[in-house]
Amino acid sequence: MSGIISFKGLIVVLFALLAPTCLSAQQQRPHSILVLDQSDLRGPFYYQVFAGLRDVVSKHSDRRVTLYSESLDLSRFNGPAYEEALKRYLKEKYQGKPLGTVVGIGAATTELVLKWRDELWPGMPIVFAMIDEADFARLKQKSNATGVIVKIPLADSIQAARAVVPDLDTVALVGDDWNNLVIYRNWNSEIAASTAGLKVIEIIGQKMSEIRKQVAELPDRSAIIYSAVYSDGEDTFYPPATAVKLIAEKANRPIVVAAETFLGPGIGGYVLVPSMIGAEAAKLALRILDGTSVSDIQPVYGGVKPIFDWPQMQRWNVGEASLPEGSEIRFRDPTFIEKYRWQSMAIASAILAQAGLIMFLLHERHLRRNAELESHQRMTELAHVNRQATTGELSSSIAHELNQPLGSILTNAETAELILKSDKPDLGEIREILADIKRDDQRAGEVIRRLRGFLKRTPFETRDIDLNEVMGEAFKFLSVQASARNVALYLQTVPGTLRIKGDPIQLQQVILNLVVNAMDAMATIPYGRTVIGRTELNDGSSVVISISDSGPGIPADKLAQVFDPFFTTKDQGMGIGLSIARTIILAHKGQIWAENQSGGGAAFHFTLPLAA
């Protein structure tokens, strides 16, 4: 047991001794990076490489990292003396500044960094960016370096040219000597294979004036493939992004380019994306600062993407579908929604709100329809009850109406019997009596038919009817009751017919209710009981029906209430007659109201629209 404990203890002690050493190895690498650019940092390409790098470094979460940067400007200055001067300058400037790693952008810069390392930064891990495969193979021997390799095969640029010009038969290759352009050096060996079947116009290493002349006269089915031009060939130097603009001013064909910063004058292609190159390099540099050994960090390929310029695509009529898979399109016109974001949102919200409102209203309408159907049903039932009650009230006059013809039938039959008993029965007289009997029978049958019709439980149904006729029938029905109650009943209708769309049984019920109410109201007055029914035309589109009486009228404060359900001033009243009358009239799209006449008595009016 004790042996095991002592062995364990030994391991613990060993770890305790080793741990601080490992930690200090990590902490020893200073958190500062020197970035050396091959070209002028103020040119757009190298500026974006540095911006991409700085962006990633600034987001490094563990510790703050100091960035130093220098432009070696090697495309414009070179030679041993210049290199020596640069070395001295860097040595002097950074001797008091501890560095964690040095990043060289471009092959020439990386080469110088590796050459100077032993003297300036012994043992320093180096990160390179934007060097091609050939340079990488050459520099690989130098240990303690990793970085980002970029690769633009000429075949990719040709593929982009074919996407832009579908029936391509000629390519114009424009640029400085590829041997001087690190990224494009490999095109020398690739040109034969990748341009097979195409005519090639080489405009390489020419003066700008010559380039501009030639690109203006290219054949129809051709595209320009631009690598990079760094000067006008007459001692003026500029970034290749400026050169491509000068070329585009004269070019009569689309320009396939190989760097993101050439988009605009260039239509696009497989392009170097400088910010991606800088970002990739920064990620590797940060791993070194955080203590990872450079030998454990494999170099990566990166920084190239198919990107195309939308305005140029429009100009050369290039569809999105013909671009290589995964292509990104830049500078596309913003869609209406992108351009008017808030306005679009407001419009969308308004449409949504409106749609919601419409849904709500439709739902409401559905509910209302249901309610209307239900209320029609109720009204029909209630109206039926009310008709039964009215018929009950009118039973004496109905009995009277029936008794009259039945009585005269009996009298006539008895008379006929007597005549037949005589020796010489007068057949002519008997014929007359039989005709009377037939007429009386028809009269009784008519009363029963009307009563049946009135008491029928029928659903609300409108049809073309003559309102004068409906009024006439109702008044006929009421006549016996009126004379039994000492009421003079008058009917004044407009001449001719009054065509309306309505349910005759229900309209008769309204008239009956109003006349019976009038007769009830006049029960207390000793004489002069009069009810007048009137039909009148109202402005040619509707008709007004009035029932007025000579009763006591309606107390002014009750005028509005009489139509309320269950409002009654009668001992045996139900208070539903007027409420049903109003429901029926409203269902006929009419109006009903009551008023007191100036000369005394109440008057009820209702309107109904005339049939079109």
Reading the block at residue 508, the tokens are 């008769």
- Region from 142-150, 359-367, 395-403, 564-572 binding ligand ADP, contact rule CB under 6 A: 564-572
Closest CA to 260 of 225, 300, 304, 298: 304
584 counts as binding ligand ADP under rule CB under 6 A: no
Distance in Å, CB of 548 to ligand ADP, minimum = 8
- Region from 65-73, 199-207, 235-243, 549-557 binding ligand ADP, contact rule CB under 6 A: 549-557
Distance in Å, CB of 457 to ligand ADP, minimum = 21
- Non-local (6+) Cβ contacts of 226 within 8 A are 174, 175, 244, 247, 255, 256, 257, 258, 262, 266
Distance in Å, CB of 498 to ligand ADP, minimum = 23
- Non-local (6+) Cβ contacts of 584 within 8 A are 379, 383, 503, 506, 507, 509, 510
- Region from 129-137, 220-228, 256-264, 573-581 binding ligand ADP, contact rule CB under 6 A: 573-581
Choosing from 67, 329, 406, 574, the residue that interacts with ligand ADP (CB under 6 A) is 574
Residue 170 or 513: the one with the smaller Cβ distance to ligand ADP is 513
Burial class (CB in 10 A: 0-12, 13-18, 19+), 500: buried
**Contact assessment for residue 520 and residue 610, using Cβ atoms and an 8 Å cutoff:** no
- Region from 320-328, 342-350, 429-437, 514-522 binding ligand ADP, contact rule CB under 6 A: 514-522
**Pseudo-torsion of CA 464, 465, 467, 469, nearest 10°?**
170
Residue 254 or 551: the one with the smaller Cβ distance to ligand ADP is 551
Residue 325 or 571: the one with the smaller Cβ distance to ligand ADP is 571
SS (H, E, C) 426-487: CHHHHHHHHHHHHHHHHHHHHHHHHHHHHHCCCCCCCEEEEHHHHHHHHHHHHHHHHHHCCC
Binding residues for ligand ADP, rule CB under 6 A, total: 20
**Residue for token pair 């009820």:** 604
**Contact assessment for residue 147 and residue 129, using Cβ atoms and an 8 Å cutoff:** yes
| CA pair distance 272, 90, nearest whole angstrom | 29
Distance in Å, CB of 429 to ligand ADP, minimum = 49
Q: Which residue is nearest to ligand ADP (CB)?
A: 577
**Region 68-97 residues binding ligand ADP, contact defined as CB under 6 A:** none
Residue 183 or 592: the one with the smaller Cβ distance to ligand ADP is 592
Distance in Å, CB of 510 to ligand ADP, minimum = 11
| CA pair distance 549, 577, nearest whole angstrom | 17
- Region from 169-177, 354-362, 377-385, 568-576 binding ligand ADP, contact rule CB under 6 A: 568-576
- Region from 39-47, 232-240, 468-476, 513-521 binding ligand ADP, contact rule CB under 6 A: 513-521
549 counts as binding ligand ADP under rule CB under 6 A: yes
Exposure on the CB side of residue 60, measured as CA atoms within 13 A: 24
577 counts as binding ligand ADP under rule CB under 6 A: yes
Distance in Å, CB of 578 to ligand ADP, minimum = 3
Distance in Å, CB of 358 to ligand ADP, minimum = 40
**Residue for token pair 């605009």:** 264
569 counts as binding ligand ADP under rule CB under 6 A: yes
Q: Directed axis angle between helix 467-484 and helix 395-421, to 10°?
A: 80
Residue 253 or 529: the one with the smaller Cβ distance to ligand ADP is 529
| Phi/psi of residue 441, nearest 5 degrees | -60, -40
> Which amino acid belongs to residue 403?
N
602 counts as binding ligand ADP under rule CB under 6 A: yes
Exposure on the CB side of residue 117, measured as CA atoms within 13 A: 20
Choosing from 513, 535, 550, 607, the residue that interacts with ligand ADP (CB under 6 A) is 513
Choosing from 517, 535, 550, 583, the residue that interacts with ligand ADP (CB under 6 A) is 517
518 counts as binding ligand ADP under rule CB under 6 A: yes
Choosing from 259, 562, 584, 592, the residue that interacts with ligand ADP (CB under 6 A) is 562
Reading the block at residue 505, the tokens are 């049984």
Number of Cβ within 10 Å of residue 199's Cβ equals 13
Distance in Å, CB of 567 to ligand ADP, minimum = 5
Distance in Å, CB of 452 to ligand ADP, minimum = 24
521 counts as binding ligand ADP under rule CB under 6 A: yes
Residue 378 or 463: the one with the smaller Cβ distance to ligand ADP is 378
| CA pair distance 201, 411, nearest whole angstrom | 133
570 counts as binding ligand ADP under rule CB under 6 A: yes
- Region from 219-227, 449-457, 483-491, 566-574 binding ligand ADP, contact rule CB under 6 A: 566-574
Choosing from 324, 472, 573, 609, the residue that interacts with ligand ADP (CB under 6 A) is 573
Beta bridge partners of 269: 307
567 counts as binding ligand ADP under rule CB under 6 A: yes
Reading the block at residue 328, the tokens are 């990104």
| CA pair distance 182, 273, nearest whole angstrom | 16
Residue 378 or 570: the one with the smaller Cβ distance to ligand ADP is 570
| CA pair distance 76, 92, nearest whole angstrom | 23
**Residue for token pair 């005339």:** 610
Q: Which residues bind ligand ADP (CB under 6 A)?
A: 513, 517-518, 521, 549, 551, 554, 562, 567-570, 573-579, 602
